[in-house]
Amino acid sequence: MSEYLPEVYRGFRTRYPQVAEALDRLGAATEAAGPRWTAGPRGW
């Protein structure tokens, strides 16, 4: 894992690996489900 991540985040992932894995799966599922956002006229 990259060193730029805050210690509290790295510690959370170390102490609660099952929760961290579930959050990773949730993130992957929501990314795969869409929608795919594109930059609008205001750049968001």
Number of domains making up the chain: 1
Q: What is the pTM of this model?
A: 0.64
Residue 23 confidence (pLDDT): 96
Residue span of the structural domain in which 20 resides = 1-33
Answer yes or no: is 24 within a domain. yes
Answer yes or no: is 42 within a domain. no
Answer yes or no: is 21 within a domain. yes
39 in the Ramachandran plot: left (φ > 0), alpha (ψ -120 to 50) or beta? beta
pLDDT tens for 26-38 read 999 998 888 777 6
Answer yes or no: is 4 within a domain. yes
Answer yes or no: is 41 within a domain. no
Answer yes or no: is 40 within a domain. no
pLDDT of the chain along its 44 residues, tens only?
556 889 999 999 999 999 999 999 999 999 888 877 766 666 65
DSSP letter (8 states) at residue 21:
H
Answer yes or no: is 38 within a domain. no
Residue 10: how many other CB atoms lie within 10 Å? 14
13 close to 1: Cβ distance less than 8 angstroms: yes
